[in-house]
Amino acid sequence: MSDAPTRYFRVAVKFWTDEKSSLWNDDIRLLALYLLTCPHRTTEGIFRLPKSYVLGDLRWSQRRLSPAWKFLLSAGFLQYDEKAQIVLLTHALRYQAPENPNQMKAARKSFETLPETVLRSEFLRLAKQLAPAFYELLTKPLGEPLPQRLPKRLGDSLNSPSLNSPETTKTSSSASPAREAAAEDLTPIQRLTERYRAVTSSEDPKDFGRVGQLINQHGEHAVEYAIQRLRTAMLDETIQRPFAWLAKVSANAPPPDEIPRGSDDGDETDLDEALREYERDVAEAERRQRLREAKERADAEAAASAAGSADAVGTGAAVGAGD
In the predicted model, what is the mean pLDDT of residues 96-108? 78
Residue 46: strand pairing partners: 88
pLDDT in the model for residue 153: 40
What is the mean pLDDT of the segment spanning 72-100?
Answer: 87
Three-state DSSP class for residue 103: helix
Query: With contact defined as beta carbons under 8 Å apart, do 134 and 93 qualify?
Result: yes
Cβ-based neighbours of 266, under 8 Å, separated by 6 or more: 254, 258, 259, 260
Q: Would the pLDDT of 214 be above 70?
A: yes
Q: What is the pLDDT of residues 140-181, one digit of tens each?
A: 765 444 444 444 443 333 333 333 333 433 333 333 343 344
Tens digit of each residue's pLDDT (9 = 90 or more) over 247-272: 888 888 888 776 654 444 444 445 55
Query: Is 59 a residue whose pLDDT tops 90?
Result: yes
β partners of residue 89: 78
Q: Which of 35-39, 181-185, 215-219, 242-246 has the lowest mean pLDDT?
A: 181-185
Measured in Å, how far apart are the chain's first and last C-alpha atoms? 86
Per DSSP (E only), the strands in the chain are 46-48, 78-81, 86-89
- Rama region for 73: left / alpha / beta (φ>0; ψ in -120 to 50; rest): alpha
Edge-to-edge strands, sheet with 78-81: 46-48, 86-89, 78-81
Give the start-to-end residue ranges of the domains of the chain: 13-170, 186-277
Listed in sequence order, the residues at least 6 apart from 193 whose beta carbon sits closer than 8 Å to its beta carbon are 207, 208, 211, 212
Confidence check: pLDDT of 55 > 90? yes
